[in-house]
A and B are shown apart, each in its own frame.
Chain A
Amino acid sequence: MIRRRDERGSALVEVCWLGILLVLPVLWIVMSVFQVQRGAFGVSAAARAAARAYALAPDDASGLARARTAARLALDDQGVHGRAPEVRVTCTPYPSDCHQGTSVITVWVHSRVVLPLMPSALGGNRPSFALDATQTVPIGQFQEISSG
């Protein structure tokens, strides 16, 4: 009888301590992993969309504007809101004229995912996870000659 009284309530204590010490951190890890996964897929899709938009634009200036819009739309679609993604475009072998024939365009998209349930009160900026993706698109050698 004595032993039975000693064991009373132990399940409740175990649930409280293990629940707080083990399950809550594990749940936070699961949430963070899914958040980062969503961001990674979003950035990957954004790079793909941005590169395609850039390659199909008539010239470099409008291409960059379209690429930025496409990247933002793609990230919005994936539920990654917040700051606009950073988009950089480089091309070889003509760095100043990306839409020339046989050029290879590389679009780099960079964004950040804020980790969940981390208040800014813990100091500095809210902890976030940096994500980036690149996409490469070649331009064909056969180009339509513009009027002029």
Chain B
Amino acid sequence: MAEFPRRRDERGTVTMLIVGLAVVLLMMTAVVTDASAAYLQRQGLDTIADGAALTAADAGASGDEAYGVGLDTDLRLDAGIARAAVGDYLRRVGAYARYPGLTARVSVDAATQRVIVEVRAPIHLPLHVPGSPEHADVGATSAATVGLDE
């Protein structure tokens, strides 16, 4: 008599296995989709950070040293102009419209005369997987300097 309950318990295990496999596959698909969305947003922010840093370094270096001091030094960066150039560039390329909630941080490294631009934007994950974050930010950092060719 002890055999019967155990055999009844094992009914449907194949169904459970197959349904479980399908659920796991679908969840993995959702994770891959979310990861792709995050990766693509990081690529987009990379682009924006690169462009902003290049524009800022370009605008911040007035080039006066080339006439006053000589060509043996890198061009000095004006932090105020660089910062304004980043804001202007982000508006110009429509970054705020494409990534709502975008924030940009600009700093000028005096020692190396580099402009460092850090942009962050919240990401809306297309599919929700149990355990995935409710709010996530994606960020990108880029740096640029202006050098003089001999």
Contacts and interface: CB of A to CB of B under 8 A. Distances in A.
Interface in B1-44: 7, 11-12, 14-15, 18-19, 21-22, 25-26, 28-29, 32-33, 36, 39-40, 43
A18 B58 CA distance: 62
B47 A135 contact: yes
A142 B14 contact: no
B15 A14 contact: yes
Interface stretch (A32-40, A71-79, A120-128): A32-40
B32 A138 contact: no
A34 B36 CA distance: 10
A140 B58 contact: yes
B120 to A, nearest CB: 18
Contacts of B54: 137-138, 140
Interface string A53-71: 0000000000000000000
A80 interface: no
A33 B28 CA distance: 11
Contacts of B63: 142
A14 B26 contact: no
B92 A19 contact: no
B26 A104 contact: no
| Majority secondary structure of chain B interface residues (helix, strand, loop or mixed) | helix
Contact of A18 (B15, B32, B146): B15
Contacts, number: 74
A48 interface: yes
A138 B58 contact: yes
B58 A40 contact: no
Nearest to B25: A26
Interface residues of B, number: 32
B29 A30 contact: yes
B51 A137 contact: yes
A38 B74 CA distance: 42
B99 interface: no
A18 B19 contact: yes
Given A14-B14, A137-B51, A106 B93 contact: yes
B64 to A, nearest CB: 13
A135 B46 CA distance: 10
A30 B23 CA distance: 12
A11 interface: yes
Enumerate the 8 nearest inter-chain pairs by beta-carbon distance, A residue then B residue, closest first: A18-B18, A140-B58, A11-B14, A138-B55, A26-B22, A37-B36, A14-B14, A136-B93
Interface of A: 4, 7, 10-11, 14-15, 18-19, 22-23, 26-27, 29-30, 33-34, 37, 40-41, 44, 48, 92, 102, 104, 106, 135-138, 140-142
